[in-house]
Amino acid sequence: MANRQIKGQQKLRVTDESEELIHRTIKNNYQSTFPIVGMGGSAGSFHAFELFFQRMPIDANMAFVIVMHLEPTHNVDIATLLQHSTSMPIVEAEDGMRIEPNSVYIIPPGKDMGMHNGHLLLFNAHTTRGARMAIDHFLQSLAEDQWNNAVSIIFSGMGSDGETGVRMIKEKLGMAMAQDPATAEYSSMPLTSIKTGLVDYIIAPEEMPVKLVQYLSHPVLQHNATEEISLDRSNQTHVQKILMLLRSQTGHDFTLYKKNTITRRIERRIAFHQLPDYVHYVNYLRENPVEVETLFNELLIGVTKFFRDHNAFDVLREHLYTHLLQKPVDEPIRIWIAGCSTGEEAYSIAILLTEYLDTMRLKRLPKAQIFATDLDANAIEHARAGYYFGNIASEVSASRLERFFVKRNNGYVVKKEVREMIVFAQHNLIKDAPFTRLDLLCCRNVMIYLTTDLQRKIIPVFHYSLNPKGLLFLGPAESIGSFSESFDALDSKWKLFEKKDGVANSVKMIDFPFHITQQSNKSKEQPIKIMEKNSLAENFHKVLLNQYSPSSLLVNDKGEILYINGEVDNYLKLHSGDAVMNIHRMAREEIKYALGNAIHQAWKERGTTEVKDFKVTINGTAHLIGFNVAYLNEAPLAGLLLIVFKERAMLKKSRAKSGDIDPAKNGAVEELEKELIYTKQQLHSTIEQMETSMEELKSTNEELQSTNEELQSTNEEALTTKEEMQSLNEELMTINLQYQNKAEELTNLNNDMKNLLDNTEIGTIFLDNQLNILRFTPQVNKLFNVIPTDVGRSITHIVSNFDYPAIENTIIEVIERLSGKELEIKTKKNEWYNLRIMPYRTIDNFISGAVLTFTKITPLKALENKLSTLMTYVQSVVDSLPDAAIILDKNAKVLVVNDAFLRLFQLREYEVKEQFFMEIAHNRWGTNKLDHLLLEHGLREFFFQHEFPGLDLVNLKVEISYVTESPVTENTALIMTFKAVEIGKQKKKE
């Protein structure tokens, strides 16, 4: 089965089998365009797989990866057995195999499996103290690789494998299913995943395909996880309504969380309920408060593990121990884990701290306080319980499990000594006060969900919370942003920072608690205009109001008069200068302070303030008046103040009777007492106003300081950016200069090449792989009717001046076979050219076309013809000789031989012509007697006796003639004639 392969299957070469490869961050590097369903099962799951695939459409555009606990000795072919339930191809996974849609892949026995860039990776099975976590292993890798295209389904099985994988799938916006425990042969695995509260569907295997297809095909999910969601204004409004419902029911405000994350979580719930759009989901939330809680929990999904990122905790341990060693023993150790989720990270740090205290062996251990907080109340309850499933054995070493945990049922419970070190509490990082005087603040993988503006506000709070040299531990994808001057980076990779010693406390920079302030555009207060109506009732009310209603004013919170009713001359007075309709400027001196105090009190208490029996002098006559100041709550006058004046009586002068108290003195005392009372009230009011103003000024000052810090930080960032830009500009200038030099070199080389080609009198054409002309020299015009504008045209479209129709095929053959070809061609003007076709090789040794060179050989061809004619003539002369004759060149190579020679020595022409005479003598005749004779220059004749093959002993007379100016050889030619003097009658004896 391992040899079967899906059609079109591609493989990725994998050489590194390190387990860390699966868990490395590969986000957004590759994401398939179809969902990939990770199916985990163990004991009793095969029947569930059969039921699932019997109902699963074969063209749903999904891929399925089955992960089971198969031992190396397992010899049952699961793929073949399961193939009976579906017509989709089912194969056993191979290392590097690319996943294709509408296909099923099964983990091989004895292997763990991961995923990277849409390819399956196989590893040797890893067992942690008897427990294999192959399903967790694959699902975590699937979540990291595919994000919202990842789906997990947990089927029947024993143990807790799959629980961590489900958490990771949900964190990465995937979907999770689990088999209904009532239908599972072994319910432990699905139950463990269900207890996380993150499983979307808990149903029987045969019901899963329908839900799976419905969910994944919902329109709101049809976009990539890496894309930024862009909503129209209507849907943005609906999202705001959803956030308001969340805040109203849960008390938590998510407006400062990243909108993309919030929107995707909302879309998952829309798809889960199969609602058509945001409008229907808003209505569904209003009608179902339980769904509000579900959405709230969905937004708080956080995945954590014991000692998550082991290398990060190794770095933390080293620096934390160094920090604590420098700390006085009598000072408490204070640690805050913000966003602790279900507590794994808090307990991990508590274990590190306990191990440190164990190594100290002090008589009196310092007090250790660890605060672990999270927004999710359910997660806090889980953390307080301290119970975790057995799969933590793959995260915690055996020695730590034994030292800090107690085995209970199928899981582990944190021991009391570690549990009592930690205070778990629900805490809102955004609006609740922070913990202070900390040695370590751990906030990992929380800020990635918050907006950049909120992150800028949280970092100063962290700085404020830490002691000098305190440690800040963030997630690998987080940073301190622009606050690098407040922290030293101890480890940039694992984001461990130390608060700089001597840096001013960052309380100045804190804007806390965080809230959204919306500034409304306040227009200038406009006097309320009373529209006159012509109705009888309105006129009647107007007369009644003017004749019988008390004098009154309508003012705003600033004291500006908006409307006047009745006579108010007794209470208000115009002053010279600019006309200002303000009650505080126009009120008479006698009532100014009392009236101002009443206005302030009414505004502050949002109620009514009454002042009675106040004495004023009007036109020399004393009057006793009172007034009410009422805060108006009803629209359209809400927020305004109504001042009603009431004249109690006119005080009359009375004569004093004998024996009575002097009325003048009595009145003066009463007047002084009233003035003293009102003076005290005014003083108290003034003090309150001053205190309020001081608080406001203090708050404003802090805001200005914070703004100043932010501006300084921004200015520093701008300066840094400017320096970087200057440096970058210098680098660009250097690179530009290098490019200019290169361009100049190329220009010179191009000029050299052009002049070389133009002056060699060799026609040259450069072609690409499609035989299009790239460049040509002027000499080519004699062979092709080509002009400069023909560059880019195929050479097959150009008319040639020679007769060689097969040139196209020849060029193609040269390009394909990578070997050159040379031939001679004749033009229509009877000119001869040597055509050489060679492949065009780049510097990188790639073939990108062909080069054609045309060398004129007309004179050479004429000489060749002349030589051929001459050789024919010489041959005829030699043939006319009666004796055997040959002509040799200066190297003793046979140039011409006559028939008499061939007959005499019983040879064929090809055995003699173009052969060295010495080789003929040695090889054919078996003698070297002629060597020294031929070397004796000037010798004219000699006699030679030899037994030739097939002949008797032969006596030869050899005559030699020398031609010093030979037209057919170089300088010297040798003519030899052979004449038999005597031929014996007897044959050579055997």
Residue 259 CA to residue 741 CA, distance in Å, equals 50
Q: Which two tokens stand for residue 844?
A: 């990188």
Residue 445 CA to residue 27 CA, distance in Å, equals 15
Residues 6+ apart with CB under 8 A from 272: 200, 215
Among 567, 641, 568, which Cα is nearest to 603's? Answer: 641
Q: Which entry of 161, 200, 376, 439 is annotated as an active-site residue?
A: 161
* 405 close to 412: Cβ distance less than 8 angstroms: yes
Percent of the chain that is helix, strand, coil (3-state, to 5):
40, 25, 35
193 flagged as catalytic: no
SS3 label, residue 897: strand
Strand 953-963 with 973-983, pairing: antiparallel
SS3 label, residue 14: coil
Residue 254 CA to residue 251 CA, distance in Å, equals 10
Angle at 462 between CA 461 and CA 467, to 5 degrees: 115
Sheet containing 552-555: give its strands across. 561-565, 552-555, 641-650, 621-631, 608-618
Between helices 310-325 and 344-360, what is the axis angle to 10°?
40
The type of residue at 904 is: L
Which secondary-structure segment (H or E) carries 959?
strand 953-963
Q: Which two tokens stand for residue 802?
A: 């020679």
Strand 405-408 with 411-414, pairing: antiparallel
Residue 196 CA to residue 204 CA, distance in Å, equals 19
Residues 6+ apart with CB under 8 A from 189: 40, 41, 42, 135, 154, 155, 156, 157, 158, 159, 160, 161, 162
Q: Which two tokens stand for residue 774?
A: 């790239």
161 flagged as catalytic: yes
Angle at 953 between CA 948 and CA 959, to 5 degrees: 75
Q: What is the DSSP letter of 922?
A: I
Q: Which residues pair with 832 in a beta bridge?
A: 826
Strand 941-947 with 953-963, pairing: antiparallel
Strand 608-618 with 621-631, pairing: antiparallel
Helices of type H across 502-612: 536-548, 583-586, 589-605
Which secondary-structure segment (H or E) carries 78?
helix 78-82
Q: Which entry of 32, 45, 69, 145 is annotated as an active-site residue?
A: 69
Question: How far, in whole angstroms, is CA 226 from its chain's centroid?
Answer: 7
230 flagged as catalytic: no
Q: Which entry of 42, 152, 188, 465 is annotated as an active-site residue?
A: 42
Residues annotated as catalytic are 42, 69, 161
